[in-house]
Amino acid sequence: MCGGRVDMAFVLRAFSDGADGVIICNCWPGECHYVPEGNYNAVNMMNLTRKLLDHIGINPERLRLQWVTASEGIQFADTVTDFTNTIKELGPLGSNEGLEADEIKVRLQNLTKLVPYIKIAKRDKLLRHLENVEEYSTFYTSEEIDQLFKEIPSYYIDPEKCQACGTCRRRCPVEAIDGDKNLVHIIDQEKCIKCGTCLASCPPRFSAVTKLVGEPVPPPIPEDKRKIIRKPKKKD
Ligand code: SF4
Ligand code: SF4
């Protein structure tokens, strides 16, 4: 119903499902029906998404945000015709980019997995409301996006510190944490979407979760070594 609701994950899913182009038609700035800044959120999110597409080698022209309201029928028809022509010129996804379909699929999958991390890392900028909507076109720089990818974190549970309380496992949104009562918990790095919830939720008295940036994640300890041997409490 509102362009401000269109998440970057929706756009990536459309491309992953075979779309060669995605257009979002949004009410004009200042004319949002729902909240004052819905269309500002849309232009902000879509400019970031365009930079991300560019970073993974997809032509950002394949994603367009257009101001056109429901009452502007002629403009809508012209807009769609123009966008369709642009996409026809670019050809099927990957052809203009010089990438095979399988490679595009993998790149889109990898980027989709990073959406939670990207939205958290860029949260402050995504909430910024610029007075001049044109300024969003240069709001995100290529250097900044490169840096974003250099700083992709991994989360690791230190087997020496984990006390198997299970808090992180219960709170992980994608069930990426394996563990049980009295067993050291392990993060499945393939499933992890890098949201950082485990780091935030591990009780401070254990502080077993570490955020790693730019260094490899230690391999998980073997299953037969995960049992936690608790020391008996001393009696007074
Ligand atoms: S960062 Fe932690 S909570 Fe978030 S997905 Fe990864 S393992 Fe789960
Ligand atoms: S919250 Fe911390 S102590 Fe509890 S299971 Fe997870 S890593 Fe281990």
How does DSSP assign 112-142, residue by residue? Answer: HHTHHHHHHHTHHHHT---SSGGGGGGTS-H
Do 142 and 164 lie in a common domain? no
Burial of 116-134, coded b for 16+ CB within 10 Å and e otherwise, reads bbbbebbeeebeeeeeebe
164 phi and psi angles, rounded to 5 deg = 55, 35
Tell me whether residue 161 is in a domain.
yes
Kindly tell me if the per-residue pLDDT of 4 is higher than 90.
no
Residues 114-120, mean pLDDT to the nearest whole number:
93
Do 160 and 111 lie in a common domain? no
Mean pLDDT of the chain: 92
User: Which residue has better confidence, 139 or 34?
Assistant: 139
Q: How far apart are CA 128 and CA 133, in angstroms?
A: 11
Residue of 111, 209, 194 lying closest to 156 (CA atoms): 209
Tell me whether residue 231 is in a domain.
no
Nearest CA, atom 8, ligand 1: 172
Pocket of ligand 1 (CB under 6 A): 155, 172, 174, 176-177, 187, 192-198
H or E segment at 8?
helix 8-16
Mutate to test the pocket of ligand 1, among 175, 192, 210 (most ligand atoms within 8 A of CB): 192
Give the ligand at the shortest distance from the Cα of 188.
1
The pLDDT of residue 137 is 87
**Domain endpoint, select from 150, 173, 200:** 150
Do 158 and 143 lie in a common domain? no
Instruction: Give the whole-number percent of the chain exceeding pLDDT 70.
Output: 97
C-alpha distances in angstroms, 141 versus 11, 65, 110?
A: 20, 18, 21
The pLDDT of residue 88 is 97
Pocket of ligand 2 (CB under 6 A): 157, 162-168, 179, 185, 201-202, 206, 208-209
Do 89 and 139 lie in a common domain? yes
Do 91 and 162 lie in a common domain? no
Residues 25-34, mean pLDDT to the nearest whole number:
83
At residue 85's C-alpha, the angle toward residues 81 and 88, to 5°, is: 140
Chain segment 45-89, per-residue pLDDT in tens: 999 999 999 999 999 999 999 999 888 999 999 999 999 999 999
Do 160 and 50 lie in a common domain? no
Q: What is the largest CA-CA distance in the chain?
A: 84
Give the ligand at the shortest distance from the Cα of 195.
1
- Tally Cβ neighbours within 10 Å of residue 95: 13
Do 37 and 96 lie in a common domain? yes
Do 102 and 213 lie in a common domain? no
How close is the Cα of 168 to the center of ligand 2, in Å? 6
Residues 5-21, mean pLDDT to the nearest whole number:
96
Give the burial class of 66: count Cβ atoms within 10 A of its Cβ; 0-12 exposed, 13-18 middle, 19 or more buried: middle
Instruction: Give the whole-number percent of the chain exceeding pLDDT 90.
Output: 81
Which pTM does this prediction carry?
Answer: 0.84
Tell me whether residue 38 is in a domain.
yes
Kindly tell me if the per-residue pLDDT of 235 is higher than 90.
no
How close is the Cα of 180 to the center of ligand 2, in Å? 10
The pLDDT of residue 182 is 93
The pLDDT of residue 39 is 86
Q: How confident is the model at residue 236 (pLDDT cuts 50, 70, 90)?
A: low
Do 125 and 211 lie in a common domain? no
The pLDDT of residue 161 is 95
| Domain count within the chain | 2
Chain segment 126-182, per-residue pLDDT in tens: 999 888 888 988 999 999 999 999 999 999 999 999 999 999 999 999 999 999 999
Tell me whether residue 230 is in a domain.
no
Do 142 and 59 lie in a common domain? yes
**Could you tell me the residue range of the domain that residue 74 belongs to?**
3-150
Do 14 and 34 lie in a common domain? yes
The pLDDT of residue 189 is 94
Give the ligand at the shortest distance from the Cα of 180.
2
- Tally Cβ neighbours within 10 Å of residue 91: 12
